[in-house]
């Protein structure tokens, strides 16, 4: 692989001069990596994870496990974790998770399994991201988990997790439910969880249940409304392979819709545990073609720049790909409406407001809704420095416009380190026909 490119700030994206004929590989899934790290630490024995994500988010999670006393070894994208059957070695620890949402929402219920006092904190944006509903559920189970603001920092005084019943809100983040589910096998009695209201991002809960099953734990459920977990122990896995990240893959699936040609992404399939793989169905609705193999997916768009169609889509279950769709939408022949992403307003930034602001900066007409936006076709997108709000997905998605539009620059491009440190390297590789990563 070529040496990493130097990221100037702002970073200019140079338009492509030819249709795509590319093959790429993106990093391991953040969602699967952090779930697997948690389950391996709780399992009975030693597990080695392969193809793990190496990024700021995963580093925060690993560092927190080490602060809690767990033994981890590293070799490239391979991590070996010595599981302790639901025990937490440290009786006191201060954890700093930066702006890693999965770390905050998964580690907080994990701390309830300990015996001692713990503090979990994050950066300025994390201190604005709500966690009150998760704390309320833990309090119903007798856990002393508190926050002065309803956001981190969080204080947990732990004495083990008792069983019983709790209710957790589903409309802010499915990670609250996933975090509770993953620690539930180590409650002292059966634990029942009821979801209040409509659950966002259902595929991520399916992912949680699937990886729990891989580690030997079964969950009783009634749809997405009620879950029951009996006391069990996760089984360590000699090796556990992490799929490539479907959210990261969405940018490369989307590229042909903008400039034509095809891109094939390796180590991912329609059978993925990751719900974001469904983004290729949105591209199909817009007029792209999808091809697949047992461990790859490819998107083709030979029609550019004529027949890309706008869509109206509820992205409640795949909100992390909304920005990717927003980057394609101005090139469609009809408006695109994105709905169901109110939860995106409490992500790394208010993503709905950010998408509207940056599309407007580029000369695209938009209408903002409480739970989404409407994007109109734009025949003449304006050159601009796109603001990223320190949000990795704003940087990665909006860089796609620069593959076709001259003068697009990305402010603070290094924010992609959160989940995809070599994103711009892989994006640049699209310039080589039949490129390999």
End-to-end CA distance of the chain: 7
For 435, which DSSP code?
B
Contact 134, 179 (CB under 8 A): yes
For 28, which DSSP code?
B
**Dmax of the chain from CA atoms?**
63
Cα 51 to Cα 34: distance, rounded to the nearest angstrom: 12
Cα 429 to Cα 423: distance, rounded to the nearest angstrom: 10
Which class for 370: exposed (0-12), middle (13-18), buried (19 or more C-beta within 10 A)?
exposed
Instruction: For residue 37, give the nearest of 48, 25, 26, 24 by alpha carbon.
Output: 48
Instruction: For residue 79, give the nearest of 100, 91, 98, 61 by alpha carbon.
Output: 61
Q: Is 90 helix (H, G, I), strand (E, B) or coil?
A: coil
Cα 70 to Cα 414: distance, rounded to the nearest angstrom: 30
- Tell me which residues are annotated as active site: 320
**Torsions phi, psi of 277, nearest 5?**
-65, -20
The residue length of the chain stands at: 437
Token output for 332:
């469609």
Q: Is 128 helix (H, G, I), strand (E, B) or coil?
A: helix
Neighbours of 104 (CB within 10 A): 28
Which class for 426: exposed (0-12), middle (13-18), buried (19 or more C-beta within 10 A)?
buried
Contact 191, 184 (CB under 8 A): yes
Q: Is 382 helix (H, G, I), strand (E, B) or coil?
A: coil
């Amino acid at each position: 692989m070529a040496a990493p490119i130097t990221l100037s700030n702002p970073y200019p994206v140079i338009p492509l001069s030819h249709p795509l004929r590319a093959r790429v590989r993106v990093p391991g899934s953040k969602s699967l990596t952090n779930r697997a790290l948690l389950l391996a630490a709780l399992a009975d024995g030693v597990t080695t994870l392969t193809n793990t994500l190496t990024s700021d988010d995963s580093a925060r999670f690993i560092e927190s496990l080490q602060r809690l006393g767990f033994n981890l070894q590293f070799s490239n994208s391979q991590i070996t974790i010595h599981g302790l059957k639901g025990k937490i070695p440290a009786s006191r620890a201060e954890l700093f998770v930066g702006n890693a949402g999965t770390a905050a929402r998964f580690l907080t219920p994990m701390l309830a399994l300990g015996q001692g006092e713990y503090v979990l904190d994050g950066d300025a944006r994390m201190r604005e991201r709500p966690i009150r509903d998760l704390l309320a559920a833990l309090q119903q189970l007798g856990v002393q988990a508190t926050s002065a603001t309803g956001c981190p920092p969080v204080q947990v005084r732990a004495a083990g997790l008792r069983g019983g019943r709790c209710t957790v809100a589903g409309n802010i983040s499915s990670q609250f439910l996933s975090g509770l589910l993953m620690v539930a096998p180590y409650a002292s009695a059966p634990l029942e969880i009821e979801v209040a209201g409509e659950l966002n991002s259902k595929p991520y809960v399916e992912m949680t249940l699937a990886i729990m099953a891989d580690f030997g734990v079964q969950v009783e459920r009634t749809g997405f409304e009620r879950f029951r977990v009996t006391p069990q122990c996760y089984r360590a896995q000699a090796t556990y392979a992490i799929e490539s990240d479907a959210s990261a893959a969405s940018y490369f699936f989307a590229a042909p819709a903008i400039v034509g040609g095809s891109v094939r992404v390796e180590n991912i399939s329609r059978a993925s545990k990751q719900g974001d793989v469904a983004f290729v169905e949105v591209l199909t609705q817009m007029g792209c073609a999808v091809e697949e193999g047992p461990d790859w997916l490819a998107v083709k768009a030979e029609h550019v720049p004529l027949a890309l169609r706008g869509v109206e889509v509820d992205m409640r279950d795949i909100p992390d790909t909304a920005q990717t769709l927003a980057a394609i939408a101005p090139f469609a022949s009809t408006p695109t409406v994105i709905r169901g992403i109110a939860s995106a307003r409490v992500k790394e930034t208010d993503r709905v407001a950010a998408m509207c602001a940056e599309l407007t900066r580029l000369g695209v007409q938009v209408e903002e809704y409480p739970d989404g936006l409407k994007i109109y076709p734009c025949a003449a997108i304006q050159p601009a420095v796109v603001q990223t709000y320190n949000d990795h997905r704003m940087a990665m998605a909006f860089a796609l416009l620069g593959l076709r539009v001259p003068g697009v620059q990305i402010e603070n491009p290094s924010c992609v380190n959160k989940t995809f440190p070599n994103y711009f390297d892989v994006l640049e590789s699209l310039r080589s026909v039949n490129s390999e990563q």
